[in-house]
């Protein structure tokens, strides 16, 4: 794409950006709208009724020309400074739960949002552009961690078990969904909204002919950065990349601080918004009272609410770690990802106190069979 509407050619500093997946030239400091206008792009926005619009006021008042701006991923930050990154992903395709897209070949995937598809394609092009410095190991599991020397033991289906040495380790634990136990929640056919999204978006499979959505407000989902969504998770990754660049001596601390300032500002804005939103919609106390006495709270270890209540009242339990040891909550395969948050809040409510301790975080290792280690079979 070439600039065709410049009154004068660009003579100062230039930058290169991507517009709908195509690399274009922009003048440093000009607005995104100016770049689009110079390229002759008139179809900028689309309202809720499908009406295509151009820039109307050009002052940011009517919002008809709002566009989505993507900032670099943490791996791109490192690649631009010549640092080599190895990204380990259990899934068969890079991009995480939000941006990896369909696993199998597809035609148009017309049911997916157009903007989301553009972002998915942009991510794959970004990885291809930095392939010399970003190595993707998909369908790969971390099964062991060693500190001296610093290395990970990983298993990949077509390579078997092998070691990866590293100098810096960034753990991206992935998103998870906070689940709320209720009578019947562990029965076949019951799934979280996140599971539904994964099937529709990644597997191109609909759950059934008829679906009932039940809830009281926005989805409470998140990752290691908290329940604030994919944008905050990506921003946290950029902060981690800046820390790596600073520790490696490639970026001065003053420059890293300046670069990080708008990122932290964006993180704070999203966090503040989500906190206000949850204040209006998240009926936490009511959720804690949904399970009946015979309702299974910990599905992995088949622990009911009555067993938890008995452990609290009979044993006089005052902290979450003791509750775990006595009742076996959070000791199953999921290590508390399904029941941990609920049990923590339930204990706080039951004892009427805020501090009940925390469960020890588990290193995100995956299971692997002995056959996979010895014979190279799939785990």
d(CA 29, CA 20): 20
91-102 per-residue burial string, b: 16 or more CB within 10 A, e: under 16: eebbbbbbbbbb
Residue scoring higher pLDDT (66 or 234): 234
Residue scoring higher pLDDT (153 or 116): 153
Residue scoring higher pLDDT (218 or 312): 312
Q: Is the pTM of the predicted complex or chain greater than 0.75?
A: no
Residue scoring higher pLDDT (325 or 336): 325
Is 140:154 a contact under the CB 8 Å cutoff? Answer: yes
Band (pLDDT 50/70/90 cuts) for residue 322 is very high
Examine the pLDDT at 175 and tell me if it is beyond 80.
no
Examine the pLDDT at 60 and tell me if it is beyond 50.
yes
Q: What is the mean pLDDT of residues 251-259?
A: 90
Gyration radius of the chain over CA positions: 24
Examine the pLDDT at 2 and tell me if it is beyond 60.
yes
Q: What is the mean pLDDT of residues 239-251?
A: 91
Does domain 179-219+283-351 sit in CATH 1.10.10.1100? yes
Average pLDDT, the chain: 80
Domain parsing of the chain, residue ranges: 1-67, 74-138+170-174+222-276, 179-219+283-351
Q: Look at the domain 1-67 and name its fold.
A: Ubiquitin-like (UB roll) (3.10.20)
Band (pLDDT 50/70/90 cuts) for residue 325 is very high
């Amino acid at each position: 794409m070439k600039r065709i509407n410049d009154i004068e050619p660009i003579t100062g500093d230039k930058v290169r950006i991507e517009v709908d997946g195509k690399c274009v030239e922009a003048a440093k400091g000009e607005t995104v709208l100016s770049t689009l206008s110079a390229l002759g792009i008139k179809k900028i926005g689309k309202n809720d009724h499908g009406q295509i619009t151009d820039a109307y006021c050009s002052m940011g008042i009517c919002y008809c020309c709002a566009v989505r701006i993507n900032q670099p991923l943490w791996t791109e930050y490192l690649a631009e400074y010549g640092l080599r990154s190895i990204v380990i992903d259990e899934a068969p395709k890079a991009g995480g739960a939000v941006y990896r897209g369909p696993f199998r070949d597809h035609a148009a995937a017309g049911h997916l949002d157009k903007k989301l598809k553009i972002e998915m394609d942009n991510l794959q092009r970004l990885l291809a552009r930095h392939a010399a410095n970003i190595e993707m190991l998909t369908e790969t599991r971390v099964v062991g961690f060693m500190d001296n020397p610093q290395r990970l033991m990983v298993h990949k289906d077509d390579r078997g078990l092998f070691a990866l040495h590293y100098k810096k380790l960034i753990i991206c634990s992935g998103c998870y969904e906070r689940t709320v136990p209720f009578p019947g929640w562990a029965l076949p056919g019951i799934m979280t909204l996140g599971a539904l999204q994964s099937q529709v978006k990644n597997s191109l499979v609909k759950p059934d002919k008829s679906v009932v959505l039940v809830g009281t407000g926005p989805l409470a989902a998140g990752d290691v950065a908290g329940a604030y969504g994919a944008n905050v998770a990506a921003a946290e990754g950029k902060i981690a990349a800046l820390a790596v660049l600073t520790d490696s001596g490639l970026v001065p601390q003053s420059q890293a601080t300046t670069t990080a300032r708008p990122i932290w500002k964006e993180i704070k804005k999203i966090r503040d918004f989500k906190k206000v939103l949850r204040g209006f919609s998240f009926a936490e106390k009511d959720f804690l009272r949904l399970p009946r006495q015979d309702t299974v709270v910990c599905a992995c270890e088949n622990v009911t609410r009555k067993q938890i209540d008995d452990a609290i009242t009979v044993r006089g339990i005052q902290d979450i770690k003791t509750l775990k040891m006595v009742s076996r909550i959070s000791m199953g395969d999921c290590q508390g990802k399904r029941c941990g948050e609920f049990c923590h809040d339930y204990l706080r409510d039951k004892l009427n106190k805020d501090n009940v301790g925390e469960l020890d975080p588990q290193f995100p290792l995956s299971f692997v069979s002995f056959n996979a280690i010895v014979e190279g079979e799939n785990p």
